[in-house]
Amino acid sequence: MNCLIGQSGGPTAVINSSLAGAIQAGIDFDFENVYVSLNGIEGLLHENIKCVDKDLFEKEKANDRLKKRPSSILGSCRFKLSDNLEDDQYKKIFENLKKYEISTFVYIGGNDSMDTVMKLNSYIEKNKIDWINVVGCPKTIDNDLCEMDHSPGFASASKFVNTALRQIRLDCDIYPIKSITFVEIMGRNAGWLTATSYLANYKRKKDIVNLVYLPEDSKSLDDIEKEIEEKFKEDNNLVIAVSEGFMDKDGKLENESEKSFDKGFNHPIIAGIGLKISDYIHDKLKVKTRSVELNIVQRTSFLISKTDSDEAYELGYLAIKEGKNQTNIVPILKREEKKEYKVRYSTTSPSNIANKEKKIPEAWLKSREILKEKITAYTLPLIKGEINQEFTDGIFDYIKLEDFTK
């Protein structure tokens, strides 16, 4: 019996930790062959499949090295399976699963990918297939997956964001002139990642980030202008975190952030919301402004939270372990109600995650003080620990697929 693992959706810094955990479990639980599918479900459709060389995997310390290798090493896809279970896609997929004698298939991804897991399980149920289990494994920097305390990948993205903000602040403070730096952060629908900007202020007498704007806010440009004028009483140089999904209440600025790189990859980026607010405020307040987009590296940074990486690994391991005997599950984590941060792992059904979004609790959004307190307490334990990265000849280096597959 063999197992198969694929990755889907946008990358995270720890999506390969889950892969490492799944491969290790594949070895530990005596799967004869551990296969990987390239570009998610597309690799399975087109037989773009590789086999893990178990000896190389150990020799190359791939288990450890995958934990530090950001962005989906197996490639990804944005392929949506047909709603019609009679579609030939399904026939082809299950033919290939049969051909490779796969008894457990783990699909690592976000809410869209759990839709794939759900549909494959509908096909299994409908056709009374008893030789394969299809399970999910969660990931996303957006932290919007339901059923779990937090999404693997979120904490590393947050660590990148608050580190970037501190670095940007170091630049902002050097000139004794009034200025505003807007920093645009990922998160189209939910402000989780942008809200974690507040962590940059943790235990600082002077704020690193002065204002934070989220998709959840209902604020106009005039509101922003007023808040900025108020903050200028405290500091000459302001740093303002803006979620790419922020929409001004009055719709004065056409929000073109949909054209940005993720989903709208097929259009050039015109300008993010950060730049638009920056231009608007510059014109209104006649003050120096600039806009910085944190951009792609938010999800592929070599700066990784050790806690996040360890948890992602554990979930990948569990996906194979539990998926050996059950289908239609996704391993998840809950936070224990203890003083010391600790998580408890369990499983849920992919239908509880697929096509759903977890939002920031409304109670947290009542005031910025509450949000700051809540998001800091929530995120702080998740970003703990760093990982020593690989540098060869002074250059950032990382494991390659051919290092441990045949």
Residues that bind a copy of itself (CB under 8 A): 11, 39, 42, 69-72, 75-78, 159, 162-164, 166-168, 170-171, 173-177, 179, 181, 199-200, 202-203, 261, 265-269, 271, 275, 278-279, 282, 288-293, 295-297, 299-302, 305, 307, 380, 383-386, 389, 391-396, 398
How many whole angstroms separate alpha carbon 214 and alpha carbon 63? 37
Q: How far is the CB of 288 from a copy of itself (least distance, A)?
A: 5
Torsion of CA 324, 329, 331, 335, to 10 degrees: -140
**Residue 89 or 162: which CB sits closer to a copy of itself?**
162
Q: How far is the CB of 58 from a copy of itself (least distance, A)?
A: 24
Tokens of 5: 């693992």
Q: How far is the CB of 159 from a copy of itself (least distance, A)?
A: 7
How many whole angstroms separate alpha carbon 248 and alpha carbon 245? 10
Q: How far is the CB of 231 from a copy of itself (least distance, A)?
A: 18
Q: Would you say 315 and 345 are in contact if contact means Cβ atoms under 8 Å apart?
A: yes
Rounded to 10°, the helix 273-285/221-231 angle is 70
Q: How far is the CB of 207 from a copy of itself (least distance, A)?
A: 14
Q: Please classify residue 149 by burial: count the beta carbons closer than 10 Å to its beta carbon, then call 0-12 exposed, 13-18 middle and 19+ buried.
A: middle
**Residue 185 or 292: which CB sits closer to a copy of itself?**
292
Q: How far is the CB of 317 from a copy of itself (least distance, A)?
A: 23
**Residue 131 or 202: which CB sits closer to a copy of itself?**
202
DSSP-assigned letters across all residues of 26-84: HHHTT-SEEEEETTTHHHHHTT-EEEB-HHHHHHTTHHHHHTT--S-TT----PPPPS-
**Residue 124 or 211: which CB sits closer to a copy of itself?**
211
Q: Would you say 200 and 162 are in contact if contact means Cβ atoms under 8 Å apart?
A: yes
Rounded to 10°, the helix 15-28/306-323 angle is 40
- The DSSP secondary-structure symbol of 237 reads E
Q: How far is the CB of 347 from a copy of itself (least distance, A)?
A: 27
**Residue 54 or 169: which CB sits closer to a copy of itself?**
169
Side-chain half-sphere CA neighbours of 396 within 13 A: 8
3-state secondary structure at position 119? helix
**Residue 64 or 86: which CB sits closer to a copy of itself?**
64
**Residue 25 or 399: which CB sits closer to a copy of itself?**
399
338 to 154, 176, 335, 342, 390: CA distances (angstroms): 22, 46, 8, 7, 35
**Cβ count near 285 (within 10 Å):** 15
Q: Would you say 191 and 216 are in contact if contact means Cβ atoms under 8 Å apart?
A: yes
Q: How far is the CB of 150 from a copy of itself (least distance, A)?
A: 14
Q: How far is the CB of 14 from a copy of itself (least distance, A)?
A: 13
- The DSSP secondary-structure symbol of 236 reads S
**Residue 40 or 316: which CB sits closer to a copy of itself?**
40
**Residue 30 or 394: which CB sits closer to a copy of itself?**
394
